[in-house]
Amino acid sequence: MIIRRIKNIARQRGYVVYEEPYKLNIWGIRANSTTPNSFDDEIHVFTNIGTPQKPNWAYWVFQITTDPGTYWLSNPTNAKGTAILKPGQFVDTYKIDKHRGKYYALCQRLKKVTVIRDYDRDAVLDFYNGKEDLGWHGINIHRARKVGETYTVDRFSAGCQVFKNAADFQFFMKLCELHRKVHGNKFTYTLLDKRMEFRRSLKQITIASALVGLVFGGYFLIKND
C-alpha cells in the first residue's frame, strides 16, 4: 500500500522509483513542524528484493533530521545564512565517501543541490522566506553520535540529513554497500515536505469538489430545464 502511494507521488512529481533489484530508493520526509533541534523527520529506504517481473519490496523507516540545529541557525558559516535542503529529487547526486574525512556516509559529491538560506539568525526554521542557492553545499547523509541515540540536533547538522540512532545508520550503510556492489557508487535522494504535500492534497480536494459541484449542478440544471 505504501509503495503504491509513493509511486503515485513520484508519478505526479515526475520522480523516479527504482525497481531494479537491490537499487535503493532513499526518501526523506520532512515533518510538519518549524521547531528546530529535534529528530522529528523520517528517512524511508526501500528496495525490490525480488525480480523486475515479480517485485518483493523491503521497506525501512528511520528517525532523522532534515534541518539544521539551532546552533548553526544562530551561527551560520555562510554569510547568506544557514542551508536548508529544498525538497526535490536529486538523481545520482550522492556517493559513499568520508563525511568531513572521518567516517563513511552518503555524501553530496556528484551533483549540485538547491538549498534555502535561512539568514535571519532567529533559531527558527524559515522554509519559505529564504533565498534559493544552487551549489556544492556538502548536504550529506550521516549520523549524529558514534553510538546510541542523540536527542537534540545542536551542532550535528548544519543542513545535512542526520540519523538519530547510530545503529540505524550502520544498518543503512550496509544497505548502501550492497547497492554499490550491484549498481555502482551513485545514489539518488528524494526529499518530501509534509506541509507541501498537505497543501497539494487540499488543493486537489478543493478542485475535485468544485468539479463535482459543476457536474452535478449541470446535471440538475439540464434535468430541470
Task: Locate the domains of the chain by residue range.
Answer: 2-194
Task: Determine the pLDDT at residue 217.
Answer: 38
Question: Which residue is listed with cell 529564504?
Answer: 130
Task: Determine the pLDDT at residue 213.
Answer: 37
What is the value of pTM for the model shown? 0.84
Task: Determine the pLDDT at residue 32.
Answer: 87
Task: Determine the pLDDT at residue 76.
Answer: 83
Task: Determine the pLDDT at residue 72.
Answer: 80
Task: Determine the pLDDT at residue 129.
Answer: 64
* Distance separating alpha carbons of residues 91 and 94, to the nearest angstrom: 8
Regions in the chain scoring below 70 on pLDDT: 118-129, 195-225
Are residues 117 and 68 in contact, defined by beta-carbon separation less than 8 angstroms?
Answer: no
Task: Determine the pLDDT at residue 184.
Answer: 99
* Distance separating alpha carbons of residues 98 and 129, to the nearest angstrom: 33
- Grouping H, G, I as helix, E, B as strand and the rest as coil, residue 115 is strand
* Distance separating alpha carbons of residues 161 and 67, to the nearest angstrom: 7
Helix, strand and coil percent figures for the chain, each rounded to 5: 30, 30, 35
Task: Determine the pLDDT at residue 80.
Answer: 83
Task: Determine the pLDDT at residue 126.
Answer: 57
